[in-house]
């Protein structure tokens, strides 16, 4: 697996856990600009094509010159100083499309934020399936103070995670919240002492995922996301198509045939990952 194209990011692959760990360490403060969008597009290409990857974990050990930990200190707004409005809008559209792509990756996506998590960083949590925050993390959406708003899915999706009252509070005030408050409102799901503890927990989850059918994992996630906010008949149809995909690729039969070994914690010979197309087709 060639990771050299993912410039500006620092991914490592743990084949035993079918795990890709992404450690952010770039720029002045892990800010996200054009170069990083290119790198994330390359990362998505890799994860979508390589079915040996079952879990993606993103974290950072970056420390500022003042000794402050940083996860993502927002978008790189300085690169836009001389841009005209059309270029700014095109750039934000690209960010939004990337965030959608990250959200729908066919893997278990875990975020382990530690330190300053501003704007784009807080929005990045919305691409994950599960977030494990360190106690050093703080979260804020300062965009309205800059004359803009959270435009990388934050305005569209934050309320679905924390509810409209907290989403409006964070978006219009720019108030910074700590890890405990983030967990209380549902922005993150767990709080741990530090990055090492967060990664230990994430790797334990990745070990569990590595034993599961890659098709079943991807189909479950795709159906759940497609069903969110939809009427019951749409939700049930998404579930039907996801289940039938596992039958079609043979993993349902594999699970039955290796039931005893699975109960002992062993992974059977699953088929290569197939992804769910809710139009009715599948793609390997």
Say how far apart CA 215 and CA 272 lie, in whole Å. Answer: 7
Structure letter (DSSP) for residue 233? H
The pLDDT, as a whole number, for residue 202 is: 98
**What's the pLDDT band for 3 if we cut at 50, 70, 90?**
low
User: pLDDT tens, 145-173?
Assistant: 999 999 999 999 999 999 999 999 999 99
Say how far apart CA 123 and CA 171 lie, in whole Å. Answer: 11
The pLDDT, as a whole number, for residue 19 is: 96
Q: What angle do CA 175, 134, 142 make, to 5 degrees?
A: 20
Does the structure show a pLDDT above 50 at 183? Answer: yes
**What's the pLDDT band for 9 if we cut at 50, 70, 90?**
confident
**What's the pLDDT band for 77 if we cut at 50, 70, 90?**
confident
Q: Number of helices (H) and strands (E) in the chain: give both, helices first.
A: 11, 13
Better pLDDT: 9 or 131: 131
Section 184-201 average pLDDT:
98
* pTM given for the model: 0.94
The pLDDT, as a whole number, for residue 251 is: 97
**What does DSSP say about strands 130-134 and 190-192: parallel, antiparallel, or unpaired?**
parallel
The pLDDT, as a whole number, for residue 4 is: 53
Structural tokens at position 32: 């996200």
The pLDDT, as a whole number, for residue 273 is: 97
Does the structure show a pLDDT above 80 at 281? Answer: no
Section 121-144 average pLDDT:
98
Centre a 10 Å sphere on the Cβ of residue 220 and count the other Cβ atoms it contains. 18
Backbone angle region of 21, left / alpha / beta, with phi > 0 → left and psi within -120 to 50 → alpha: beta
Domains of the chain, residue spans: 10-209, 212-283
CATH architecture of 10-209: Alpha-Beta Complex (3.90)
**What's the pLDDT band for 283 if we cut at 50, 70, 90?**
very low
Does the structure show a pLDDT above 60 at 107? Answer: yes
């Amino acid at each position: 697996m060639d990771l050299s194209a993912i410039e500006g990011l620092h991914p490592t692959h743990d084949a035993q856990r079918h795990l890709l760990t992404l450690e952010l360490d770039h720029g002045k403060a892990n800010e996200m600009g054009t170069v990083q969008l290119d790198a994330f597009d390359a990362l998505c290409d890799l994860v979508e094509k390589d079915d040996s990857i079952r879990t993606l974990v993103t974290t950072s050990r970056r420390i500022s010159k003042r000794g402050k930990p940083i996860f993502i200190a927002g978008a790189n707004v300085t690169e836009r100083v001389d841009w005209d409005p059309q270029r700014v809008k095109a750039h934000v559209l690209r960010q939004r499309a990337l965030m959608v792509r990250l959200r729908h990756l066919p893997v278990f996506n875990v975020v382990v934020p530690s330190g300053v998590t501003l704007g784009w960083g807080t929005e990045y949590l919305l691409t994950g399936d599960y977030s494990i925050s360190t106690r050093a993390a703080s979260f804020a959406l300062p965009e309205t103070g800059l004359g803009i708003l959270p435009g990388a899915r934050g305005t569209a999706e934050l309320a679905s995670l924390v509810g409209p009252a907290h989403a409006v509070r964070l978006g219009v005030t720019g108030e910074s919240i700590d890890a405990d408050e983030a967990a209380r409102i549902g922005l993150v799901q767990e709080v741990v002492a530090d990055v090492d503890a967060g990664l230990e927990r994430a790797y334990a989850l990745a070990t569990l995922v590595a034993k599961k059918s890659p098709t079943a994992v991807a189909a479950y996630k795709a159906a759940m996301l497609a069903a969110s906010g939809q009427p019951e008949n749409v939700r049930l149809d998404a579930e039907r198509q996801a289940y039938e995909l596992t039958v079609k690729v043979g993993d349902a039969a594999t699970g039955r045939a290796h039931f005893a070994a699975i109960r002992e914690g062993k992974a059977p010979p699953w088929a290569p990952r197939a992804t769910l197309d809710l139009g009715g087709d599948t793609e390997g």
